[in-house]
Amino acid sequence: MGKRCPAFTRQLIERLHTVEDDEHIQEAVESAMAHENASLVEEKAALAKLLERERAEKVVKEKQLEQEKIEAEKVKARAEQVEQLLRQKEKELALLKKQAGQDSWQVRQQKEQAGQAL
């Protein structure tokens, strides 16, 4: 409205310079005010539509963000499951290596005993 007032005032003053009597001055002022009011109503309607669109976009973005958050939580949970499975498999592998080492030691012992027996 700050931009519109100087233009509105300037236009009204220009019109009033051409008017000669009070009746025409009053008509010019009322006409200018009616025109300005109509412009303001149009601007208000446009701003209301813009605001509504912005609000709708905000709702959509919030829903998308919530969905992304849910998906991120699912991915995190799956990663934790994979890490847990990996740790379990590492423990199993270490146990197998230990058993293989013991089995190897036992085989050597048996070979040594067999060699001594001969």
36 Cβ contact partners less than 8 Å away, ≥ 6 residues apart: 4, 8
**pTM of the entire predicted model:** 0.51
Q: What rounded mean pLDDT belongs to the chain?
A: 85
pLDDT surpasses 90 at 37: yes
Tens digits of residue pLDDT in 45-88? 999 999 999 999 999 999 999 999 999 999 999 999 999 999 99
Q: Give, in order, the Cα–Cα distances in Å from 118 to each of 43, 85, 106, 107, 108.
A: 110, 49, 18, 17, 15
Pairwise CA distance, residues 77 & 71, whole Å: 10
Domain ranges for the chain, please list them. Answer: 4-90
* Local confidence band at 26 (pLDDT 50, 70, 90 cut-offs): confident
pLDDT surpasses 80 at 6: no
- Structure confidence at residue 99 (pLDDT): 84
pLDDT surpasses 90 at 101: no
| Length of the chain counted residue by residue | 118
Range scoring the smallest mean pLDDT among 1-10, 16-25, 44-53:
1-10
Lookup: tokens for 26: 């009053």
DSSP one-letter code for 20: -
Lookup: tokens for 110: 């048996």
Q: Which of 40, 47, 51 is nearest to 3 (CA)?
A: 40
DSSP 53-100: HHHHHHHHHHHHHHHHHHHHHHHHHHHHHHHHHHHHHHHHHHHHHHHH
